[in-house]
Structure 1
Amino acid sequence: MELELRHLRVVSTIAEAGSVTKAAAELGVAQPALTAQLSRIERTLGGPLFERDHRGVRPTALGELVIGRARMLLPAMSGLMDDATRLSDTERGRDAPEHLSIGASTSSILAPLIQRLSQWREELKVSTMASWSADEVTGQLADGRLDFGVIGVCAGAGTPSEAGLTWRTFSVDPVFVLLPQGHPLADRDEVSLRELGDAEWAATPGDGCFQECFAAACAREGFTPRSLYVADAASCVDLVGSGTAVALCQANRVLPGLVTVPLAGVPLRWNHVIGWRSDSAAAEHAGAVLGTVKRAHRDLVERSSVYSAWLPRHRGFGVQQDPGITPAV
């Protein structure tokens, strides 16, 4: 077997996740399949890359060497591919389509994405659909009513499995907590879930396993949340502003009168992914749209001083330099 970039991506993901099980969830593959692939990579390189124990995995000396090279090569190759795609599209006279339809369950991305797309081509016509439901966006994408779908999925859930759709993870983001400015913990660099054990909670609606993951994270901290009010974004803001509840929120949230605070240990995280139909006319523009959505997400991150300061201390989060493609079966 010859070593390929996708193998370096696997090794890098395992190192960042700290365990093969967590890495498998992030890559959207079964744990036994990832373990087998790691074994083939280690045979190719001539030795073990990780030491394994009950706490997870730690890189060996050989692993440190490979991981260090991977962290240089993967971003460089991602940049090369993005630049090559843009140049190739320009030379063929099709640097942008006439029209794109985009759906999003992460509505905050729409405004910066539209702005970035207009910079790509001023004449481009963009129609959008916003929904709290990732399943609804996925269904419209599968039916051909959307060219691209941008959704958030709980990190342990994997991408939707509809046949014919291709997904790329463009950002991995922690879940922060939203507090009123006068809250006793509002000036902290981070807070633990346990410190908020007596709070009432609020969150925007979503399908998938997020509520169960939140309950499990609280259980690991030794408490059961008193409540979880599921409400629209404006109602969650009102509940926090009035002191009735604290809210789970995206890390890039910036709201007047409210404060976003990181949760210690990153107990909850979102994978933000973009999908398209593999057989659609829009698929030929997927590389350029992917690059555009990554830049739009960076725009959101840069608006948040809290998240921007948090990111350099937490490797593996934020916009992904070289995300893998996961085609549905």
Structure 2
Amino acid sequence: MELEVRHLRVLCAIADTGSLHRAARQLGLAQPSLSTQLRRIERALGAQLFVRDRTGCRPTPLGRTVLSRARPLVDEFAAIVTETRAAAARTADGFQLRIGATVSRAIPVWIRLLRARTPRIEPTLQMNVSANALLGMVAAGRLDMAFVHEVEGCPLRVPPGLRLRVLVEREPQFVTLAADHPAASRPRVRLADLAGDRWMVDATVDGEWDALSRVLRAAGLDAEILHGDYLTAYSLAATGEVVTVSQPTALPRPDLAIRPLEGDPIGVRLLLAARTEAELDDVYAELEEAYWTVARDAPAYRAWLEDARGLGRMSGAVRAAGAGTESGSPAGAAR
């Protein structure tokens, strides 16, 4: 077996994530397939590169030596791919802008604004629940940029060379519950009001499970947390089976209520990532406008923003962007 760049990328992913499971998800592979690849690589080199135990994977001393040589090669190859794909994407008629994103109601509005203001740009969209996976795709040149969220207390793994721009430093996460839930009658919900409820979150969203578990423990609650996608979580919340975390821009339904949590214990940072500052400059204004359009269109979030502004709790960036007049109601739904 001759080593190829893809094998070196495998080694780097395992070292960066510290886990075969997380590395497989980052690379878009099944874990058994990744385990097989690692065994073949180690056989080809005639040495063990990682120590595997219950806590994950750690490079051996020889593994660290191999990684020190592999990383520059992987980065150089990624740069070649990035430059080639960028050149190929530009045509006489326009420019294809490859956008990756985690879920947000701002995305349809953002794409519409980009098309309207820069007709030569044709945005394409790739969704993924994993912000880390999207950042890796930008670094590898498979995407031009990514709009992602970073769960508080669970830092993202930002590849070297990426440029980041913060859209919102801390967006509070709300709770979604049945419209007839006793706590739904309150403008703000205390975690103690949900002591008897089961929660459901999507554990494949980077940091989501860990953040909720940490917040519930800090509140002294031993609540059951179920795993499920957010479409299922919303359906079960409507029947009173669970409550779930939601973005504040989510719109209420007749059978669901969206409420802030008292003290805003769960927050995320909203980021736009690209390889150059110029790429960020080209699209950031439209993203900012799109986000605050949907923010003001969401009743619970609009009330939270007005209350936060009145109490002086908003950051400068949020105060400037969130204080404008209301815009029309955009299409699109998100959790």
Normalising by structure 1, report the TM-score. 0.63
Could you tell me which amino acid in structure 1 is paired with residue 293 of structure 2?
D
Could you list the runs of 4 or more consecutive aligned residues of structure 1 that deviate by over 6 angstroms after TM superposition? none
How do 1:153-192 residues align onto structure 2 when only pairs under 5 Å count?
153-171=150-168, 172-192=170-190
| 2:218 alignment partner AA | R
Q: Provide the rounded CA distance (Å) in 1 between the counterparts of 2:279 and 2:138.
A: 15
Aligned equivalents of 2:146, 2:320: Cα separation in 1: 19
- Structure-2 residue corresponding to 1:105: 102
Give 1:312 shift. Answer: 2.6
- Give distance in 1, aligned partners of 2:216 and 2:180: 24
Native 8 Å contact 2:132 2:158 kept in 1 = no
Q: What does 1:1-329 correspond to in 2, within 5 Å? A: 98-171=95-168, 172-225=170-223, 227-257=224-254, 258-278=256-276, 283-314=277-308, 315-316=313-314, 320=318
Per-residue CA distance 1:107-154 (angstroms, 9 max, x = gap)? 433211111212222342111100111122111111101111011111
Which amino acid is the alignment partner of residue 151 of structure 2? C
> Which amino acid in 2 is paired with 1:242?
T
Deviations 1:5-64 (A, max 9, x none): xxxxxxxxxxxxxxxxxxxxxxxxxxxxxxxxxxxxxxxxxxxxxxxxxxxxxxxxxxxx
1:98–1:320: structure 2 CA closer, same or farther, 3 Å change rule? farther
Q: What amino acid sits opposite 1:259 in the alignment? A: A
CA 1:107–1:183 in structure 2 vs 1: closer, same or farther (change >3 Å)?
Answer: same
| Residues 153-209 of structure 1, C-alpha deviations (whole Å, 9 max, x = no match) | 112333433111011110121010001111111121101111101101112344433
Going from structure 1 to structure 2, the CA distance change for 1:306 and 1:107 (only over 3 Å counts) comes to closer
In the alignment, what sits opposite 1:73?
Answer: none
Q: Which has the larger radius of gyration?
A: 2
* CA pair 316-183 structure 1, distance change in 2 beyond 3 A: same
Structure 2 vs 1, CA of residues 292 and 139 (structure 1 numbering), >3 Å: closer, same or farther?
same
Residues in 1 aligned to 2:158 and 2:135: alpha-carbon distance in whole angstroms: 9
- Measure how far apart 1:270 and its partner are: 0.8
- Uncovered stretches (5+) of structure 2, i.e. residues with no partner: 1-93, 322-335
Aligned residues: 222
Give the CA deviation at 1:221.
1.5
Kept in 1: contact 2:203–2:209 (CA 8 A):
no
1:178 and 1:207, CA in 2 relative to 1: closer, same or farther beyond 3 A?
closer
Residue 79 (structure 1) aligns with: none
Larger RCO (CA under 8 A, 6+ residues apart): 1
What stretches of structure 1 of length at least 5 have no aligned partner? Answer: 1-96, 324-329
Q: Secondary structure at the match of 1:136?
A: helix
Segment drifting more, 229-238 vs 170-179: 229-238
Structure 1 counterpart of 2:59 = none
Tell me if the contact between 2:96 and 2:122 (Cα under 8 Å) persists in the aligned partners.
Answer: yes
User: Aligned with 2:280: secondary structure?
Assistant: helix
Cα distance, 1:319 vs. partner?
5.8
Cα 1:205/1:216, change in 2 over 3 Å: closer
Deviations 1:187-234 (CA, angstroms, capped at 9, x unpaired): 211011111011011123444333222222112221111x22222221
**Residue identity in the other structure for 1:104:** A
Match of 2:5 in 1: none
Residues 208 and 132 of structure 1: CA distance in aligned 2, closer, same or farther (over 3 Å): closer
2:67 equivalent in structure 1: none
User: SS in structure 1 opposite 2:185?
Assistant: coil
Could you tell me how far 1:241 is from its partner in structure 2? 1.1
Paired with 2:219 and 2:315, the residues of 1 have a C-alpha distance of: 23
CA separation of 1:319 and 1:201: change in aligned 2, threshold 3 A: farther
Change over 3 Å in CA distance of 1:303–1:317 after alignment to 2: farther
In structure 2, what is the Cα distance between the partners aligned to 1:290 and 1:277? 14
Amino acid at match of 2:303: A
Measured in 1, the distance between the counterparts of 2:220 and 2:253 equals 32
The change in CA–CA distance for 1:321 and 1:310 in structure 2 (over 3 A counts) is closer
* Matching residue's letter, 1:224: D
